Amino acid sequence: MSLIVQKYGGTSVGSTERIHNVAKRILETQRSGNQVVAVVSAMAGVTNRLIEMANEVSPENEPTEREMDVLLSTGEQTTIALTSMAINALGGKAISLTGSQAGIFTDGEHTKARISNISPDEVQRLLDEDHIVILAGFQGSSPDGRITTLGRGGSDLTAIAMAAAINADLCQILTDVDGVYTCDPRIVSNAKKIDEISYDEMLEMASSGSKVMQSRSVEFAKKFGVKFEVKSSLNNNPGTIVTEEHPNMESVVVRGISIEKEQAKVTIENVSDEPGVASKIFHAISDSGVIIDMIVQNVSKTNHTDISFTLHRSDLKKAKQTIEPMLANLGENVEMETTDGIGKLSVVGIGMRSHSGVAAQMFSALAKGGVNIQMISTSEIKTAVIIEENGLEEAANIVHEAFNL
Amino acid sequence: MSLIVQKYGGTSVGSTERIHNVAKRILETQRSGNQVVAVVSAMAGVTNRLIEMANEVSPENEPTEREMDVLLSTGEQTTIALTSMAINALGGKAISLTGSQAGIFTDGEHTKARISNISPDEVQRLLDEDHIVILAGFQGSSPDGRITTLGRGGSDLTAIAMAAAINADLCQILTDVDGVYTCDPRIVSNAKKIDEISYDEMLEMASSGSKVMQSRSVEFAKKFGVKFEVKSSLNNNPGTIVTEEHPNMESVVVRGISIEKEQAKVTIENVSDEPGVASKIFHAISDSGVIIDMIVQNVSKTNHTDISFTLHRSDLKKAKQTIEPMLANLGENVEMETTDGIGKLSVVGIGMRSHSGVAAQMFSALAKGGVNIQMISTSEIKTAVIIEENGLEEAANIVHEAFNL
């Protein structure tokens, strides 16, 4: 008998009919001889409607964050009740638990709380009594009993953290795709499903735009060694196993390719090449709430240098407004240039560590295809380039083929 | 400074715009120099939609009651969050509490739990810190931490029980009517609002069809001596104070008139006048879940008697099906007769205890108006008659005038 944690997202439980299907699937998992904890999200659309109402009653200010959590947590609470009812209607034995009832404790940071610890006694007790436990994703309880929510990707995190706490044999993230692909199949038509991927590769894929899961949950899984499978909630095909790195994995040099559209670039030219300049710029950017991705600074020749960074296009205006008034303080002839209409293409694979020449192979493939590279950034297991957004999809196909994925 | 508990029903918080208005009103109450706890219901329509979804995922069975409570409690939880946000947006300082967070403990009878005790420490602490407390009506927590709901009229009960627990100076039940009237103003056009009414009168009015509040909440208020006011949420007119009986109240003989439509009558004729017969009949009826109202049995002359009872018309079929197979066991010539198309007219007033002749005055007024009385039943402070439903409204007007209400 295995102990399995499953997680169903908002689309999978988007209607009472779909909840019925999810209930059947959970029950089948138990009847194949497993203990099951199923984490469910709010029904698709519900969270947005709740946010809309919050904005209606709080038109001029941000709605109080404490109350936002009280409000949003009703979404998952509705789903756990309906899912449990549906399982019971099918002859199963299910019991729902809110985050607080399941012993999920967090800090007090409303709307983006972090899990501090889990007391899985109640979950364990119900499992021992042959119950299926239906657990509300995305929510927890602060030390003083307030309702908290975990922010984006919170339900995945609930599933992985609970799997760690009860020492589950497997954690399944059921979603609307069949697994993690070598590239987005809508862009590269012969992209293949990856059978197994390491946490680090998954992290690099996620942070490079393959939004199957938030990085945060993958990091948590890595930290606690939770093996999980990303698979479809609509069929029984094997998905992608995300697990600890093992030697066999290195035989594949490039695991996958990910692309990120709608990027923009800011270059600050001629800043004095002295300590503290970069710090000034990026502190200001960070304080303004803008999230930046790549940062590139090349060696200086004349005691002056250019610093570039990329960010999502929607944040460009804010970044410009933040930096504009600082320019005079950064040196005499300092100027700012911005570009949007660019995108990022990354190749990811832990095999890169032991295989040289991956970057070279990528650049030459792009050159042959006539793609101009504007920026380059590399990590131990990733090589990323910034190119024209127009050519991004074609470039993905070129590189996918060059590495025989 | 007074401590006031207010309760707003589902219609009063039926949209974000109405929640905004309720928030304004709560804030005004605090700013006039009071401490305020506001109990809110689910937004009108929400509970029905949740029940609909529950039936969809559980089409052949009743949805699990434990999960029904998890589901339904989200309705009030949504309202407390939105109401608190709305107050904060107006510059107030509000905090929401679920039933469980507010220390409302119940037994474990899901969907119809009874309040066992209230630990008001958290509510008191928040009030002492100048917060407005927005409390979810209708819900509580079982001893082992399950979510429970209180059944029909549960939000009124929450308000009155919390008022008792924190020793509030006043409990206001804000609703869509201006108070309790001498008769339904839609039927008797010159019906007047009652300024003050005793718990017992209110109970008799409620059980006789004046559905401003469920009897249950009034009984609770009586037991714990909670003075409350029924008033409109739409204006600031004084409402009706419901309180302990005091000598002045007796000067009014008849406080009000209430009518109940869609009644039916069952008469079982020629049953043996021996011990245990009535018990047999009414046990069977009770087991079938049919709720009966009046029971009348007259003295017997020939060792046989007729037993009649009234019930809501919608229960008539079930009652007939229950009694039909028993008839042979009740005596030789036992027969059942049923009538629908009847209604009940009651006059209520604690003054009746000390004033004789109320019934006589009522009967003669009805006789003058040509109204035939089919059954009579009296309590210490109520006289009720069953008459043709067709003439019910006219009869209400006749009696209203006869007692100069």
Convert the pLDDT of each residue in A171-206 to its tens digit. 999 998 899 999 988 899 989 999 999 999 999 887
Average the pLDDT over A146-156 and give the result. Answer: 94
Contacts of B28 (CB under 8 A, 6+ apart): none
pLDDT at A88 over 90: yes
Yes or no, beta carbons of A64 and B77 under 8 Å apart:
no
CB B123 within 8 A of CB B167: no
Architecture of the A2-176 domain = 3-Layer(aba) Sandwich (3.40)
Q: Which pLDDT value is given to residue B395?
A: 94
Average the pLDDT over A135-143 and give the result. Answer: 97
Q: What angle do CA B282, B287, B288 make, to 5 degrees?
A: 100
Enclosing H/E stretch for A24:
helix A16-31
Measured between beta carbons, the chain B residues lying within 8 angstroms of A19 are 57
Residue B308: φ, ψ to 5°: -120, 150
> Residue A33: left if φ>0, alpha if ψ -120 to 50, beta else—which one?
left
Q: How confident is the model at residue A24 (pLDDT cuts 50, 70, 90)?
A: very high
Partnered with residue B348 across adjacent β-strands are: B256, B382
Rounded CA separation A174/A151 (Å) = 19
Measured between beta carbons, the chain A residues lying within 8 angstroms of B64 are 84-85, 88
Nearest chain A residue to B144 by CA: give it.
A101
A-interface mutation test, from B19, B47, B72, B82, most A Cβ less than 10 A away: B82
Average the pLDDT over A220-231 and give the result. Answer: 95
CB A372 within 8 A of CB A342: no
Average the pLDDT over A355-374 and give the result. Answer: 89
Domain A257-402 matching CATH 2.40.50.140: the answer reads no
The predicted complex's ipTM stands at: 0.84
Q: Which residues of A fall below an 8 Å CB-CB distance to B? A: 16-17, 19-20, 23, 50, 53-54, 56-61, 63-64, 66-68, 70-71, 73-74, 77-78, 80-86, 88-89, 95-96, 98, 101, 145-147
Q: How confident is the model at residue A104 (pLDDT cuts 50, 70, 90)?
A: very high
Rounded CA separation B155/B149 (Å) = 10
Q: Which residues of B fall below an 8 Å CB-CB distance to A? A: 16-17, 19-20, 23, 50, 53-54, 56-61, 63-64, 66-68, 70-71, 73-74, 77-78, 80-86, 88-89, 95-96, 98, 101, 145-147
Nearest chain B residue to A19 by CA: give it.
B57
Residue B32: both structure tokens together: 């006039």
Which of A63, A74, A82 is the closest to B57 by Cβ? Answer: A82
Q: Which pLDDT value is given to residue B70?
A: 98
Average the pLDDT over A275-302 and give the result. Answer: 83
pLDDT at B22 over 70: yes
Residue B33: both structure tokens together: 């120099």
Q: Share the mean pLDDT of chain B.
A: 92
Beta-strand pair B240-243/B196-198: parallel
Nearest chain A residue to B46 by CA: give it.
A78
Residue whose token pair is 């409570």: B69
Measured between beta carbons, the chain A residues lying within 8 angstroms of B85 are 54, 57-58, 63-64, 67-68, 71
Enclosing H/E stretch for A28:
helix A16-31
pLDDT at A70 over 90: yes
Q: Which pLDDT value is given to residue A351?
A: 84
Yes or no, beta carbons of A61 and B88 under 8 Å apart:
yes
Measured between beta carbons, the chain B residues lying within 8 angstroms of A59 are 89
Rounded CA separation A259/A395 (Å) = 10
Measured between beta carbons, the chain A residues lying within 8 angstroms of B74 are 74, 77-78, 81
Instruction: Return the domain boundaries, chain A.
Output: 2-176, 257-402
pLDDT at B299 over 80: no
Q: Which pLDDT value is given to residue B104?
A: 97
Query: Listing from the earlier edge strand, what are the strands of the sheet with A147-149?
Result: A115-118, A104-106, A139-141, A147-149
Helices in B90-181 by DSSP H: which ranges?
121-128, 154-165
Residues B104-163: pLDDT tens digits?
Answer: 999 999 999 999 999 999 999 999 999 999 999 999 999 999 999 999 889 999 999 999
% of chain B exceeding 90 in pLDDT: 70
Angle between helices A46-57 and B16-31 (to 10 degrees): 40
Q: Share the mean pLDDT of chain A.
A: 92
Q: Which pLDDT value is given to residue B330?
A: 82
Which of B59, B70, B146 is the closest to A77 by Cβ? Answer: B70
Yes or no, beta carbons of B95 and A66 under 8 Å apart:
yes
Which of A17, A56, A84 is the closest to B64 by Cβ? Answer: A84
Nearest chain B residue to A59 by CA: give it.
B89
Q: Which pLDDT value is given to residue B301?
A: 67
Among B4-8, B9-13, B213-217, B257-261, the range of highest mean pLDDT = B4-8
Q: How confident is the model at residue A399 (pLDDT cuts 50, 70, 90)?
A: very high
Residue whose token pair is 């939609």: B49
What is the least distance, in Å, from the CA of A17 to any CA of chain B?
A: 7
Residue B60: both structure tokens together: 């052949």
> Could you tell me how far CA A194 lies from the centroid of its own chain?
17
Q: Which pLDDT value is given to residue B99?
A: 97
Measured between beta carbons, the chain B residues lying within 8 angstroms of A53 are 16, 78, 82
What is the least distance, in Å, from the CA of A155 to any CA of chain B?
A: 19
Query: Listing from the earlier edge strand, what are the strands of the sheet with A256-272?
Result: A292-297, A304-312, A256-272, A335-348, A382-388, A375-379
Among A47-51, B10-14, B94-98, B353-357, where is mean pLDDT lowest?
A: B353-357
Q: Which of B240, B250, B258, B254 is nearest to B197 (CA)?
A: B240
Q: How confident is the model at residue B19 (pLDDT cuts 50, 70, 90)?
A: very high
Higher-confidence residue of A353 and A88: namely A88
Q: Which pLDDT value is given to residue A209?
A: 65
Q: Which pLDDT value is given to residue B147?
A: 97
Nearest chain B residue to A13 by CA: give it.
B57
Handedness of CA A99, A103, A106, A110 (dihedral sign): positive
Q: Which pLDDT value is given to residue B303?
A: 77
What is the least distance, in Å, from the CA of A37 to any CA of chain B?
A: 16
> Could you tell me how far CA B404 lies from the centroid of its own chain?
26
Computed on alpha carbons and rounded to an integer, the radius of gyration of chain B in Å comes to 24
What is the least distance, in Å, from the CA of A148 to any CA of chain B?
A: 13
What is the least distance, in Å, from the CA of A151 to any CA of chain B?
A: 18
pLDDT at B275 over 80: no
Q: Which pLDDT value is given to residue A274?
A: 76
Q: Give how far Cα B238 sits from Cα of A300, B308, B310, Å.
A: 80, 42, 36
Give the 3-state secondary structure of residue A204: helix
Contacts of B344 (CB under 8 A, 6+ apart): B208, B209, B259, B260, B263, B293, B294, B310, B384, B385, B386
Measured between beta carbons, the chain A residues lying within 8 angstroms of B63 are 85, 88-89
Residue B74: both structure tokens together: 């989200």
Rounded CA separation B120/A393 (Å) = 62
Give the 3-state secondary structure of residue A59: coil
Average the pLDDT over A91-95 and give the result. Answer: 97
Average the pLDDT over B15-26 and give the result. Answer: 97
Q: Which pLDDT value is given to residue B219?
A: 93
Q: Which of B296, B305, B370, B299 is nearest to B333 (CA)?
A: B305
Rounded CA separation A209/B37 (Å) = 48
CB A216 within 8 A of CB A224: no
What is the least distance, in Å, from the CA of B134 to any CA of chain A?
A: 11
Residues A36-56: pLDDT tens digits?
Answer: 999 999 999 999 999 999 999
Q: Which pLDDT value is given to residue B209?
A: 65
Q: Give how far Cα B53 sits from Cα of A20, A81, A280, B152, B171, Å.
A: 11, 10, 55, 19, 34
Give the 3-state secondary structure of residue A100: coil
